[in-house]
A and B are shown apart, each in its own frame.
Chain A
């Protein structure tokens, strides 16, 4: 059954842009980009059990690296994409060190402070980031001589990236690494007695999660073609956390569903005009109150019955 649903969803994602207006295609592209960031956070939080409220900062770093280098530096896209991943991986590794000392809500505050710090750098260090004016005219890349300038073409590019990241994450979770992440999440002391280097895996969980945030950002910049500090404030981190938890933390497809709720649902609810955000908030509260394991946790429970 799982494969059937997957094939159906895949077919939908391939066909959908044909019947959508440019704005719809943009939103669907944003869903793919945010899902990539949420997959990263799901590795850090869902699989390795380390709470992070800094994922938006990594999306931001990835976006600024790509935006800055492809405009001011006139770099081609791919090296900036790789650099976006690498720089977030490195910073994520460093951010992992506090997690070796503190856990849970203390760690949440450490990462929250980090997100705020990065946001302030984006906003205040004008010489580097152009401050609140942002960086505009971020070019969209071409692939094998094929231009991705059009919204539809760029959507398929984002989708291809999502598939690539998903396959990599799937492989990682299935590997001994993935098992070690879960062991660290479930019980660090037991994991240690099984020979898991809990230190290294905690840092790695942060670094890989952050790296995927960077990839998400590297796609975000050419998608919106404009990067400014506002989207990377704490709000996005909370939103990404919501995607992971709502979809089902620690479930592979959790982020995909969570991102539907967080990115697409508010758009669909727009018909309610001023009330749509209130309705959305109530919906999220109800879902969390009754299905704390997220949508996939709920599906799991229903299927087992």
Chain B
């Protein structure tokens, strides 16, 4: 039987140059659920994602995916394992067409993958991408660009999606739509691990929460429990929650 945890950090130490950001980070990501990582600036949230996706060297500790060690493996191999990473900010190629951007999602596809069919399927799902397939990607609105990024990630049918601050720069209405989309992906069987500044709203949409501080895991619980924890309210979520 498959383990209940899809992804696991075990005492991970990592950082940039001489600076250490993650000081022995350990936590586990439950399979088939949506987990939100919260924590103040500099807690190491994005760093943890980069370390998991092979874009930052792990100095010690281990990262496990499906109980197999994936520490320091190349992004290309991790994509092959079924991990997809949607970094913070705008990650489209603005000068190129929407279709060209989608095709990039298949760059690491294994031989024999019918990319055309998959791109068609993704465009069936997101009508806006089909309508604007030939447009330059920079002409899409902020929300559409994020959809394009997620659609691009879905092309390889991942089992785990790491998504870093997807709501940044989006209007509240679009944020709602985005979270609805993420919930839908989870229903489709994709495990989601998300970083969000908008912690309250993200936790309301998630099953679990993980709290990081200074490169360590401080708390891991159901999203509801974290939302109602007064300490967390004061620490990270601003006033209002604990009242």
Q: Which residues of A contact B (CB under 8 A)?
A: 176, 179-180, 182-183, 186-187, 189-197
Contact = CB atoms under 8 A, between A and B. Distances in A.
Given A180-B107, A193-B53, 16 more contacts: A176-B106, A182-B96, A187-B93, A192-B55, A193-B55, A193-B75, A193-B85, A193-B87, A193-B91, A194-B79, A194-B104, A194-B152, A195-B78, A195-B80, A195-B107, A197-B76
Contacts of A197: 74, 76
Interface string B72-93: 0011101110000101000101
B140 interface: no
B91 to A, nearest CB: 5
A195 B53 CA distance: 10
13 contacts: A179-B106, A182-B100, A186-B96, A191-B104, A192-B75, A193-B87, A193-B91, A194-B75, A194-B79, A195-B79, A195-B80, A196-B108, A197-B76
Interface of B is mostly: loop
B109 interface: yes
Interface size class of B (residues with CB under 8 A): 20 to 34
B44 to A, nearest CB: 18
A191 B109 CA distance: 14
A114 B225 CA distance: 63
Contacts, number: 52
Contacts of A176: 106-107, 109
Given A176-B106, A176-B109, A183-B104, A195 B93 contact: no
Interface string B101-112: 001111111000
B193 to A, nearest CB: 15
A190 B75 CA distance: 11
Contacts of A187: 93
B177 interface: no
Task: Please indicate which of the listed interface residues B75, B78, B152 has the most CB atoms of chain A within 10 Å of its own CB.
Answer: B75
A183 B91 contact: no
B95 interface: yes
What 7 pairs across the A-B complex have the smallest Cβ distances?
A195-B108, A195-B79, A195-B76, A186-B93, A180-B107, A196-B107, A195-B75
